[in-house]
Amino acid sequence: MEKDLSKLDSPLEVRSIADVADEEITYIDDRRHGRIKSLATPWSKYNNIAMGGIEWHTIHTIGGMSGSGKTAILNQLETQVCELNPDEKFDVLSFNFEMLARNLVGRKISKETNMTMQDLHSGKEGVKLSDADYKRVTETREKLKNLPIYYVDTAGTVDDILRTIHEFGKRDPSRGILMTLDHTLLVNGAAREVEREVLVNLVKALKRMIKYYKKEGRDFSCVLLTQLNRNIEESDRMADPGSQNFPKKKDIFGGDALYQMSDIVLVTMNPFQVGMEVYGPHKWPTQGLLYWHFLKVREGEPVIAKMTNKLAINTVEDFEASKQMLQL
């Protein structure tokens, strides 16, 4: 037995509660004096729920049906998190396996210029983008070019993603990394891996990477997009006047793994898109609105936030008429 033990790899690190308590007290003090901050997002409701925004060394998962605004939300977040946190040294590393990076930048321009993508691309018969509007577009491009956002268009396996993050991080070890992924179902599997196994392996690997960077003194966080299972679109749920049409943990593809590993789990719902004139047992209005269901808040309680739907110009805003959270 002694011979076998001698061949074991190095043991896992053991830390005393005294050391960990000192670390937590230091973190509390640094937070209260502003030496450590979360990355503020464009939405005050999100910031109030999620420890001031995107706290470093956390995983945030955003789910939703097709057309519910997931990609627009992530795209808006990537831009404005850079603009709202100018004193923080970090880069956004965006893995976009669903859309071309060019289209994502187009959506950013859409938001900044208050023009639809159809307007930008002269998509209406007989209507072309004017010279004046084109000038606004080019001015927006110059503004966007200064943002520390980097894209990965090529889909890969979990190992490919990890290697890419690691190599990217070597560019400037003094800068943190906000990694975003659109979306989890498009990550390639290794040989004989099924979709759910890929998802489980992805979130486990990202959790390990968070701990690795934290130990190295580097800031690292993740924002992931994922789909919902199709049963949320069943007619009996959509027709239910109560809360059966509200998203639940089981509606998220790979819900168990994402729930366990994520610090924030948000599902964005666009009930007007699927023909619902009112939403939920309190018959909330739907036109021009989104409902953000915070299903998991690691340091808080699940809530629902009413948001203003401006997806036509790739924007979501806080609904100021109701600053208080809605109850589940």
Cβ count within 10 A of residue 39: 23
Render pLDDT for 169-227 as a digit per residue (tens, 0 to 9).
Answer: 999 999 999 999 986 666 766 555 667 788 888 899 999 999 999 999 999 999 999 88
The whole-number pLDDT of residue 253 equals 77
The residues, any chain, with a CB within 8 Å of residue 72's CB and separated by 6 or more, are 107, 311, 314, 315, 316
Render pLDDT for 216-253 as a digit per residue (tens, 0 to 9).
Answer: 999 999 999 988 887 777 767 766 666 667 998 888 87
Nearest to 165 by CA among 154, 153, 177: 177
The rounded percent of the chain whose pLDDT value lies above 90 is: 51
pLDDT > 60? residue 323: no
What H or E segment, with its residue span, contains residue 119? helix 117-120
Domains and CATH numbers, the chain: 44-102+147-322 (3.40.50.300)
The whole-number pLDDT of residue 36 equals 92
Cβ count within 10 A of residue 151: 17
The whole-number pLDDT of residue 238 equals 66
Render pLDDT for 120-134 as a digit per residue (tens, 0 to 9).
Answer: 998 887 788 999 999
Can you state the percent helix, strand and coil of the chain, rounding each to 5? 40, 20, 35
In terms of DSSP bridges, do strands 284-285 and 278-279 run parallel, antiparallel, or are they unpaired?
Answer: antiparallel
SS3 16: coil
Q: Cα–Cα distance between 283 and 290 in angstroms, integer?
A: 14
Render pLDDT for 84-113 as a digit per residue (tens, 0 to 9).
Answer: 999 999 999 999 877 778 888 888 888 889
